[in-house]
Structure 1
């Protein structure tokens, strides 16, 4: 799967300019037209960019559309209304690639919104149509063919053509994007793209995959019209430009309120509005994201009806702050949904390029010095369990032998002693023979429960002689610090994507250091290798797993890699839960089963809708003092015993 999904960093729960300013900013850049450059690039790689005819298609292709699969989405869903949500910080850019593009808001305006070429059915183990109506896979599983829906367009109304998929390669292979992850991925994972006619094209990959659709199904075309000015100044020129989407929502000039909010609007006459598996989804006309940095303030605005939804997963909001009339009277409902999806890799990640953390005994000692059991028992009130590995939730691809190291002061001190820290100073912090203190900074989000949890970890770590200095940052600062590899210990979590773990982006040397011509090493920024792992023993295995051709081979190598990474002790798993829970005003409606099985978060499947009639009814009931009674819904259809 492309990093358009897998690189989205979810932190544990999960200066913008207005339209007039955008125009002035664009005046800084002279007109530019890359049409001839693009054509020349395609022409320079005739083996990669190919134009053929329908007669060149293999005669024995088996075209598939899976039309017999049940539709997801609720026919009772209604279009209209505005969904009011909150975000903790303003997006640093609207670009989906390049510097600072790896921010949490990208999922809201892009990752969760755009239409895939084919879509993974969230309740079935199969693919269904997206931008393509039909698809086929060659017998050797190296070439994947698609027939585009003739109606498919970008959100600006421009028809999507096969050459827009060609354009994606021109952009993703370019050094102009300043994003080495994409440069590597698109150079390694594809060997050709071929056009047969205006609707039919194929991707060829270098080697067979167990299911090659996972590698190409979410591939996004990039509008040649929009990116006609793509060139050396791309990051600055396109910093605040919103690319047209293939999905149901876009952001227009009226949706930008400088540093305060961003509003998505449903695309008028969207090409997929009547298409199966799309027609009962993406229902609100508008989705407004208000910037609210403080969760307590967000919760109060939620109580006032200024927000429709609140992710109340933590005990503070699920228990303590739920003792309110709005919940007692059923105006606000609480929902629990058991899902099946790889778990957010929530944990503490140690930057091995930093002093102290380059010592394995220090890392092992830290593992034993963190009391996550107490965090789960006290802060989370037993509503979660210890995650045994940051690779949890991948089914057969997660090794059952992995175990998180428990809190153990004796073992922590044993490893710290091996690293030379055997004496305690007057404040209880261990020091080595040179008088250096065993002191590190733990960086975490400054919202939600994370600072209190970090302080609890700090309190217990001191029992083992480890000083943790807690640094709470807002989301933008935290992303930036981790992307630049300037943290020591970071409390973070990545949104994992099926079907199996991706090791290359998180643990391969290419995403940690770049060797310069003079032999020196330079940090590679803007990658997910925040542990700065660079191990010659791991790299070949990572590439073997990346190129594995069978499920059995992927499983075998994945288990081996998981064990080796566990041995490095650079990623400390925190907690996980088999469900998510949230609160919403009763007019925010969900299907009778609550959601789709493979939903990671409550809103990412877009099967909800706003019942405007129920909204008015509820407001009237509040004015008149009518109660519906407290309502908590538990959806456990997909709960595993």
Structure 2
């Protein structure tokens, strides 16, 4: 599964979901006035690249420009405003915007000057200032100013998605102190990630938006300052971005060797199956494969056999977060932890991995999987010290037993799990009557699993069959992505498959995932509706962690509490990018550690003719 809700939003808006309780460390030393003036910030030590670095270490700075890449989008879109709850935004809209700083996908959490040529951070960390590039221009030729930054910040907090109010909640003031200098002042210096996460902000043109209602979807191509502009669109069917030839930032160190396509075209398809057929027919150039069955069996087609299509698996070091069946705790049906554990007990990952996924996945057993932030064993040392004040509010077993997910032999004969689940359900007041599970009032145990595409029906339907053996009636409902987004924003679902992504430096975004306030706020990322006083306090401790050791201990404690409350039914994860592409591309010799790096690829002109000839031959067969 893709990292659907949160990462889609992040990608659309140009954010990297870092977040941490650590201090944003600037490169360089304080001046006599105690202010550090720098080109970069990091959360895990000093940034690795000096001020005069010429380009990212992994790119080809002389990569040729030109050509077109055609990519897949699923569903539809009806808006070019990706910053609000209303409407479904077009894929790739981030291409038209610049951010104050640019994340390095080769470092765990470092950002370098982009729109901002300089950063100022005082010793007490009560504010941060960004000085904008003199050359920074909107596509209409007008300069990008501090007023644009202030207007963007205030507008997104007031009218944007709820995410912004949580992410920037500790900023008290944003003021333009000069035409090219903007200062953000903070409520305190405890939330030490603020300087860096403000650098992730996409900047919007105040003059273009004046007279327009920002809170409404729109299809007028917005004005940007980034490397691409919208060339043409067919709402719901396709959108085309063209590289800006005179883009102001083309020679910046963070941009050299990137954005090499003249044209990026996204073609929309109703589901992944149709999109795959379009790829095989040569209508799509590049594909990331998220379906294990297709990766194992679906690539024996004419273009592949003729060598026109290539495949690769690229190892990454990204934390994989938590993909899961998410229970909506706003529903009375799921408010008992014993009921939730019963539903976990009968989820047979081993059978699915063997029969559906060709053994290609690893079971996810932590909200911070594939990182040193994941809890394991029994709580000890600093983690135990974090948990001790909450002992009376937590399950006693949390301190004496290791949290474990059920493991089966993969045969599909999961009788032990069914027995354990029935015991838990009886303890919670549910009994079997005429082969149907019902509560003391005679109400049946039934719910709906909401999906946004057919790919996960083959996962949900076997699970439904197992639940039927318990006397539970579960129905699978698949709707299009636009409808799905509307229902997710309104928390109108019983159960769904979702992803809670994480980084190596969790912080402010945890409020959006797990806080009581966000459980009540439509459009938030608290999909499960988690509202627990211990979780709430641990989230704040994570955000305010004074150093890396404290961050690790507090995050492990948060992870352990979330797991023991059985809020979700954990799924699985992969530690590689699986990609397939028509063989017309050149690519750097290595990938950055924490990203695919597709924006650093280019078209090899000498191969285009061969590929196009092969495509025509395939299409005529």
Q: 2:201: which partner in 1?
A: 219
Q: Residue 163 of structure 1 corresponds to which residue in structure 2?
A: 147
1:567-582 matched pairs, under 5 angstroms: 567-582=564-579
1:460-471 alignment, distance < 5 Å: 460-471=466-477
Of residues 239-248 and 76-85 in structure 1, the stretch that sits farther from structure 2 once superposed is 239-248
Q: Deviations over 1:2-28 (max 9, x none)?
A: xxx9973559x99xxxxxxxxxxxxxx
Alpha-carbon RMSD across the aligned residues, in angstroms, is 2.9
1:297-352 Cα deviation digits (max 9, x unpaired) = 22222122111012223233212221123112210000111111222531111111
Deviations 1:104-158 (A, max 9, x none): x566212x76433222222245432211223232212332233322211233433
CA offset digits 1:26-83 (Å, max 9, x no partner): xxxxxxxxxxxxxxxxxxxxxxxxxxxxxxx973433323235553422352211111
Q: Is the CA contact (8 Å cut-off) linking 2:346 and 2:421 kept in structure 1?
A: yes
Residue 106 of structure 2 corresponds to residue 123 of structure 1: yes
Task: Give the Cα–Cα distance (whole angstroms) in 2 for the partners of residues 344 and 398 of structure 1.
Answer: 10
Are the counterparts in 1 of residues 6 and 525 from structure 2 also a CA contact under 8 Å?
no
1:576-595 to 2 correspondences below 5 Å: 576-593=573-590, 595=591
**Structure 1 residue 602, shift from structure 2 partner:** 5.9
Instruction: Give the alignment partner of residue 556 of structure 2, picking from 559, 562, 571.
Output: 559
Please report how far the alpha carbon of residue 414 of structure 1 lies from its aligned counterpart in structure 2 after TM superposition.
Answer: 1.7
* Partner of residue 150, structure 1: 134
Give the Cα–Cα distance (whole angstroms) in 2 for the partners of residues 556 and 531 of structure 1.
24
Cα contact 2:229–2:244 (8 A) shared by 1: yes
CA distance in 2, matches of 1:597, 1:313: 19
| Structure-2 separation of matches of 1:391 and 1:154 | 39
* Pairing 1:40-59 to 2, within 5 Å after superposition: 59=33
The aligned runs of 1:27-176 (5 Å cut-off) are 59-65=33-39, 66-67=50-51, 69=53, 70-100=56-86, 108-110=92-94, 114-124=97-107, 126-174=110-158
Give the gaps of 5 or more residues in structure 1.
15-56, 514-523, 626-641
Query: Contact 2:97/2:204 (CA < 8 Å) preserved in 1?
Result: no
Mapping for residues 433-444 of structure 1, pairs under 5 Å: 433-444=440-451
Which residue matches 2:47? none
1:431 to 426, 438, 445: 438
Per the TM alignment, residue 455 of structure 1 is displaced from its structure 2 partner at its CA by 0.9
The whole-number CA distance in structure 2 between the counterparts of 1:168 and 1:58 is 33
- Is 1:199 the counterpart of 2:180? The answer is yes
Query: 2: distance between equivalents of 1:208 and 1:511?
Result: 21
Equivalent residue for 1:533, pick from 525, 530, 535: 530
Structure 1 position 573, deviation (Å) = 1.8
Q: Secondary structure at the match of 2:533?
A: coil
Distance 1:441 1:622, change over 3 A: closer
Deviation at residue 621 of structure 1 after TM alignment = 5.9
Q: In the alignment, which residue of structure 2 is the partner of 1:277?
A: 254
Query: Kindly tell me: are residues 292 and 83 of structure 1, through their superposed partners in 2, closer, same or farther at Cα, counting changes over 3 Å?
Result: same
Assess, with a 3 A threshold, how the Cα gap between structure 1 residues 412 and 108 changes in structure 2: closer, same or farther: farther
Contact 1:441 1:471 in 2 (8 A): yes
What residue in structure 2 maps to residue 39 of structure 1?
none
Structure 2 match to 1:310: 287
What's the TM-score, normalizing by structure 2?
0.81
CA contact (8 A) 1:89 1:291 kept: yes
SS at match of 2:35: coil
Distance 2:38 2:5 in 1: 30
Structure 1 residues 372 and 480 mapped into 2: Cα distance closer, same or farther (>3 Å)?
farther
SS in 1 for 2:112: strand
TM-score if structure 1 supplies the norm length? 0.79
Q: Do the aligned partners of 1:587 and 1:612 also contact (CA within 8 Å) in 2?
A: yes
Within 5 A, what are the aligned runs for 1:193-342? 193-205=174-186, 206-209=188-191, 211-229=193-211, 233-236=213-216, 238-252=217-231, 255-342=232-319
Aligned-partner Cα distance in 2 for 1:385–1:108: 30
In 1, the alpha carbon distance for the partners of 2:301 and 2:310 equals: 12
Structure-2 separation of matches of 1:385 and 1:504: 27
Q: Distance in 2 between matches of 1:79 and 1:447?
A: 37
| Structure 2 unaligned blocks of 5 or more | 13-30, 40-49, 378-401, 408-416
Displacement of 1:270: 0.9
Kindly state the Cα deviation for residue 392 of structure 1 after the two structures are TM-superposed.
Answer: 2.1
Whether 2:399 is the aligned partner of 1:399: answer no
Q: Paired residue for 2:45?
A: none
Alpha-carbon spacing, 1:147–1:178, altered in 2? closer, same or farther (3 Å): closer
- The 1:58–1:456 alpha-carbon spacing in structure 2 relative to 1, beyond 3 Å, is farther
Q: Give the Å deviation of 1:94.
A: 1.8
Whether the 8 Å contact between 1:6 and 1:497 is mirrored in structure 2 is no
Structure 2 residue aligned with 1:475? 481
CA–CA separation in structure 2 for the residues paired with 1:279 and 1:148: 19
Number of the residue aligned with 2:333? 356
